[in-house]
Structure 1
Amino acid sequence: MPREPLPFRSILVASRNDPHATYEQFEAYARDWGSELFDAGTVGHLDSKTRFGAWPDGQRLVRSLTQPFLPG
């Protein structure tokens, strides 16, 4: 797992009850990568097998990556 800042803007979407990592681990990854952290709530592991379906917040997050970054 890389632990250096990513060379591009990124958003880490994290679940509070993912069985593969704790939320604190996701916070550390986001900090190390220089990523924004999005708290998806208690939705389990986010992958195609969970059949999460349409997700308006996800679509909004992807669109936000095309907007200028405004720190703070």
Structure 2
Amino acid sequence: MAPQVFNLPGWQGSGPEHWQSRWELLHGYSRVEQHDWMRPLRGDWTARLEEVVLASRAPVMLAAHSLGCILVSWWAAHSRHTDRVVGALLVAPPDVEREDNRQVLHGWAPIQRQPLPFKSVVVASSDDSFCSLDRASHFAAGWGASLYHLGAKGHINADSGLGDWDEGHALLLDLKHAKC
């Protein structure tokens, strides 16, 4: 059975020009809708991800952006259902332990750093205002994920001008065939 891909947007969601929204239109992927995009609560977001994973009849792949990446690491550290996930694309994880980010995203620190029990790739930019490339590399190492350096693409969102972001989609598809 083919995996079902779920998009996990970050804080404030993903607008119509974001690669996640474009993938939903192009590839039929589903968005994990959260109760409140502006005031994200880690417990609520984690419970929602658990519901979605359990409701899926197919294996699951996760395409996370920003705070969605931190959500995946937290969920994986606490769920008993991680075996349902085939892989995760973790794009532009924010450093929620950095003081300026911590002020905006209350309750998301500390970041879980244990290895994820499924294949994963962290995609990072050298000029992301929410996380340095060094910290993204540190997160990837803790999660047991490979690191893909995209270059200077900001927060790897709609402002990055990626369009349909075929390069990212190829990384996601590669996870389908990889073994943990």
**TM band (smaller chain):** 0.7 to 0.9
Find the structure with the greater CA-based Rg.
2
| TM-score, normalised via structure 1 length | 0.85
Over 4 Å off, 4+ runs: none
Q: Does the aligned pair in 1 maintain the 2:113–2:142 contact within 8 Å?
A: yes
Within the candidate set 99, 111, 115, 1:5 is matched to 115
Bigger strand share:
2
Aligned-residue CA RMSD in angstroms? 1.6
Identity score, percent: 32
Higher-RCO chain (CA-CA 8 Å, sequence separation at least 6): 1
| TM-score, normalised via structure 2 length | 0.36
Within the candidate set 141, 150, 163, 1:31 is matched to 141
Bigger helix share:
2
Identify the residue that residue 57 of structure 1 maps to in structure 2.
167
User: For residue 148 of structure 2, what is the amino acid of its counterpart?
Assistant: F
Gaps of 5+ in 1: none
- Provide the rounded CA distance (Å) in 1 between the counterparts of 2:179 and 2:116: 15
Deviation at 1:54, TM superposition (A): 1.1
